[in-house]
């Protein structure tokens, strides 16, 4: 009985970890799409034509800027200097 349990336990742990990783990857993908969708909207408002290289550059730069802003906000929120 113990031998069977020892054989099954790593599989259960692996499947559980895979599910957590899948959920985390899904969250990361949804965050990335949120950034991209916001950037596409902003670049369209700036007057860039979708499907062009300049539009793609605008989206890329806006996504990176938004990620940087979010990282700065998170760092400021967790900063030791606030205490």
Write down the pLDDT at residue 9.
58
Tokens for 11, please give them: 């599989």
* Range of the structural domain that residue 43 is part of: 33-75
Cα separation of 60 and 28, whole Å?
17
Q: Flag whether 82 is in a domain.
A: no
| pTM for this entry | 0.60
Number of domains composing the chain: 1
Structural contact between residues 37 and 49, judged by C-beta atoms closer than 8 angstroms: no
Helices (H) and strands (E) in the chain, counts: 2, 0
Q: Flag whether 52 is in a domain.
A: yes
Q: Flag whether 26 is in a domain.
A: no
Q: Flag whether 69 is in a domain.
A: yes
**Interval 6-62: pLDDT, tens:** 566 555 555 555 566 666 566 667 888 999 999 999 999 999 999 999 999 999 999
Torsion of CA 40, 41, 45, 48, to 10 degrees: 20
Q: Flag whether 11 is in a domain.
A: no
């Amino acid at each position: 009985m113990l031998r069977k349990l020892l054989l099954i336990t790593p599989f259960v742990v692996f499947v559980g970890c895979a599910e957590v990783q899948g959920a985390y990857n899904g969250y990361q993908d949804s965050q990335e799409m949120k950034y991209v969708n916001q950037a596409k909207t902003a670049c369209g408002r700036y007057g860039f034509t979708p499907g062009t290289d300049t539009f793609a550059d605008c989206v890329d730069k806006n996504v990176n800027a938004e990620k940087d802003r979010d990282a700065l906000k998170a760092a400021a929120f967790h900063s030791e200097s606030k205490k």
